[in-house]
Amino acid sequence: MTTSVLITGTSSGIGRVTALRLARRPELSVYATARRPETLADLAAAGARVLELDVTDEASMARAVAAVEAEHGSVGVLVNNAGYGEYGTIEETGLDGVRRQFETNVFGLARMTQLVLPGMRRASRGRIVNVGSMGGRIVFPVGGYYHASKYAVEALTDALRFEAAPFGVKVSLIEPGLIRTSFGDTAARTLSGSAAPAGPYAALNTAADQQMAQSYRSTILSAPPETVAKAIEHAATAARPRTRYVVTPAAKALVHTRRLLGARVFDALLRAQFKGAA
């Protein structure tokens, strides 16, 4: 029996690598999606089905789910991967950008979940894999609004896991650390555009930009997207998937450091990291 897998945000990064990885499995029928499906030619060549899907557009989301259900009866696995980072300080970041980020990272994820669940309940089976972030458990300066969106994904996933379990639907959360994709470039671009160069947070913004660049270049602190794709594959196919997958050793260390040492010590570590900027 073939299981359908619908993945959001496969035009680049984690989503693209995940689609390629899952398309190799003969028991899976992978639906790769993006706002511009013409960007997915290589995924189609690898055996994935290609659909247009914009997680900020209701009609687009409904069409994509309906297309999968028309062929398979229900979506077997939903991978809510679409997301990006809108960076800047709490005071200076424009709320229009924050709203766009929440539309993608939170409301798009929630609506896709709502659309697939009736079919999964009818089938008495299904998987929902939400791609969150270690940023849903720890917070760095100038990333508050991005972190808030990922904290929201944590809460939604925890509630959904309990609510959907009686219907045979398993729910997992992927929490990547720093992954070498275009995410860091997008974050840096939004950070540079969020405030005036001579504003009150100029030193902090500059330090944060430098820290991000150095961290994403580090092979110790970051990892390739294939690492996340492997975790998503396990969540989508294992008989007993984990509730959470913290991806990369650095992410595991940071999450546990924050949990064990508390806010005051973690703040002290951040002050040392951003010395001269705070």
Residue 32 neighbours by CB under 8 Å, 6+ apart = 7, 10, 15, 16, 19, 23, 40, 43, 44, 48, 49, 50, 51
Indicate whether 207 belongs to any domain. no
Residue 151 neighbours by CB under 8 Å, 6+ apart = 136
- Number of domains making up the chain: 1
Element (H, E) at 16: helix 13-23
Indicate whether 211 belongs to any domain. no
CA contacts within 13 A on the Cβ side of 258 = 14
DSSP state of 4: E
| Burial tier of 36 (Cβ tally within 10 Å: 0-12, 13-18, 19+) | exposed
Question: What CATH number is associated with residue 231?
Answer: 3.40.50.720
Indicate whether 16 belongs to any domain. yes
Indicate whether 46 belongs to any domain. yes
In terms of residue numbers, what domain contains 23? 3-84+96-179+223-254
Indicate whether 210 belongs to any domain. no
The answer to whether residue 146 is catalytic is: yes
Whole-number pLDDT of residue 195: 67
Indicate whether 204 belongs to any domain. no
Indicate whether 55 belongs to any domain. yes
Side chain identity at 110, as an amino acid letter? A
The catalytic position among 145, 146, 201, 216 is 146
Q: What six digits make up the tokens of 246? A: 């913290």
Indicate whether 195 belongs to any domain. no
pLDDT tens for the chain, 278 residues: list them.
Answer: 899 999 999 999 999 999 999 999 999 999 999 999 999 999 999 999 999 999 999 999 999 999 999 999 999 999 999 999 999 999 999 999 999 999 999 999 999 999 999 999 999 999 999 999 999 999 999 999 999 999 999 999 999 999 999 999 999 999 999 999 876 666 566 666 666 677 899 889 888 888 888 888 888 889 999 999 999 999 999 999 999 999 999 999 999 999 998 999 989 988 888 875 65
